[in-house]
Amino acid sequence: MMILIAGGGTGGHLFPGIALAEEFTIRDSRNTCIFVGTKEGIESKVIQREGFDLKTINVKGIKGKSIKEKVGNLLLVPKSLYQSLALMKDYKPNLVIGTGGYASAPVVFVAFLMRIKTAICEQNSFPGITNRILARFADRIFISFPQTMYLSSMKKSRFTGNPIRKRLRDSILKEKVQKEKFTLLVLGGSQGSHSINEKMLEALVYLAPYKDSFRIIHQTGDTDHQRVSQIYRDKGMDSKIVKFIDDMAGVYQEANLVICRAGATTISELTLFGKASILIPFSFAANNHQEKNARVLLNNEAAKMVLDRDLNGKNLAEMITALASDPDTISNMEKAALKLGKPKATKDIVDICYEMLNIK
């Protein structure tokens, strides 16, 4: 088959698509997956090194833009539709999958007009505007939460979970890492989080009396890396401070507790590995979807949550030390997180796509 996977802009919209592309090509080496995105999105930096081709179109979002930017970006719509039409004629795909983000909108819509089978993946419990529109046209809708606003009640929706990459799925079968110290994993998304970095540095003051009991792996992003590294050294903390983490599976295996945002990919990984977490939703996420994601875990006792506006070094340190001294609560959170995980999400989505295309 020829499959076009459209979307991107952020890792949350891109990496599920890469997971699906891996599964399609593993399923049948004759399958070809081509990505469609923009030159500005993260896909332009990632797709080629993952061994897939990327075709770019001229399209930009309108949410959160000024009036002038909205008008200019809307004027790109006819061109993006024409470019999407050209892609359909050039590649004649059997299936088009939208993974969210504005780049998926013209591609999936043109595929619908040309009667090509389409599907969309919604990673969050509150869908973005692109998928809310495309849901009307897609043949299948794959959702990551059983209660997904607007989409879960649609007959063509399937609760599959969020596609996770093969190397992460395979790693959960490995033997668990034995840890001498209680290990914290601090994440701020692929670019890091200045807010989380600052609050964690404040927390080190309160964690100082217990520093011999903790090991901290902290992903800072590029901007804060040097300063954060220096402060950890000055505090004498047993720590590993990195700009970016390539081996997510390895650090999840090491961690007893994860302090992180509540993006869809992070939530999927926490539930895949069964990790206790303190979730700090990004307060400026579209439609406040990160808080909605976090509350799913909170309501199932799989995580603790603190909002950015309520977070400070003292209460963060108190949450960390309370959990570190309560292994039963950590264990219960891990079990609850595992129950929410969907390790077969990638396989299930590809199975449904094959059924939709009447391919055995």
Q: What is the pLDDT of residues 248-260, one digit of tens each?
A: 888 999 999 999 9
Res 172 pLDDT > 90: no
Percentage of the chain beyond pLDDT 90 is 79
Classify domain 170-340 at the CATH class level. alpha beta
Q: Where does the pLDDT of residue 61 fall: very low under 50, low under 70, confident under 90, or very high at 90 and above? A: confident
In this structure, are residues 3 and 97 in contact, taking their beta carbons and an 8 Å threshold?
yes
Q: Sheet containing 2-6: give its strands across.
A: 53-56, 32-37, 2-6, 95-98, 117-122, 140-143, 157-159
Alpha-carbon Rg for the chain in angstroms: 21
* pLDDT one-digit tens code per residue, 194-217: 999 999 999 999 999 999 999 999
All structural domains of the chain with their residue ranges? 2-164+343-356, 170-340
Q: What is the pLDDT of residue 71?
A: 86
Amino acid identity for residue 265 in this structure: T
b/e per residue, 156-179, with b = 16+ CB within 10 A?
A: ebbbbbbbbbeebbebbeeeeeee
Residue 201 makes CB contacts below 8 A (sequence gap 6+) with 228, 231, 313
Please tell me the predicted confidence (pLDDT) of residue 177.
64
Sign of CA dihedral 267, 271, 275, 277: positive
Q: Which residues pair with 223 in a beta bridge?
A: none
| Closest by CA position to 294, among listed 316, 263, 334, 258 | 263
| Class of residue 322 by CB neighbours under 10 A (exposed 0-12, middle 13-18, buried 19+) | exposed
What's the first-to-final CA gap in the chain, in angstroms? 12
Query: pLDDT for 287-337, tens place per residue?
Result: 899 999 999 999 999 999 999 999 999 999 999 999 999 999 999 999 999
- The reported pLDDT for the residue numbered 82 is 97
Compute CA distances 190 → 174, 219, 241, 261, 268, whole Å.
25, 9, 14, 11, 15
3-state helix, strand, coil in the chain (%, to 5): 50, 15, 35
Average pLDDT over residues 221-229: 93
Mean pLDDT to the nearest integer, 151-177 = 87
Q: What is the dihedral of CA 78, 122, 294, 205, to 10 degrees?
A: -60
Q: For residue 165, is pLDDT > 70?
A: yes
Q: pLDDT for 89-147, tens place per residue?
A: 999 999 999 999 899 999 999 999 999 999 999 999 999 999 999 999 999 999 999 98
Is the model's pLDDT at 190 over the cut of 80?
no
pLDDT at 174 over 70: no
Q: Is the pLDDT of residue 169 over 90?
A: no
The two domains 2-164+343-356 and 170-340 share their CATH topology (first three levels equal): yes
**CA–CA gap between residue 185 and residue 196 (Å, rounded):** 12
CATH assignment of 2-164+343-356, among 3.10.20.30, 3.10.580.10, 2.130.10.10, 3.40.50.2000: 3.40.50.2000
Judge contact between 141 and 160, C-beta under 8 A: no
CA-CA distance, 38 to 271, in Å (whole number)? 30
Per-residue confidence (pLDDT) for residue 141, from 0 to 100: 98
> What 3-state class would DSSP assign to 142?
strand
Predicted confidence at residue 96, as pLDDT, reads: 98
From the list 66, 21, 62, 11, the residue with the least C-alpha distance to 41 is 11
Q: Is the pTM here over 0.85, yes or no?
A: yes
| Mean pLDDT of the residues in the chain | 93
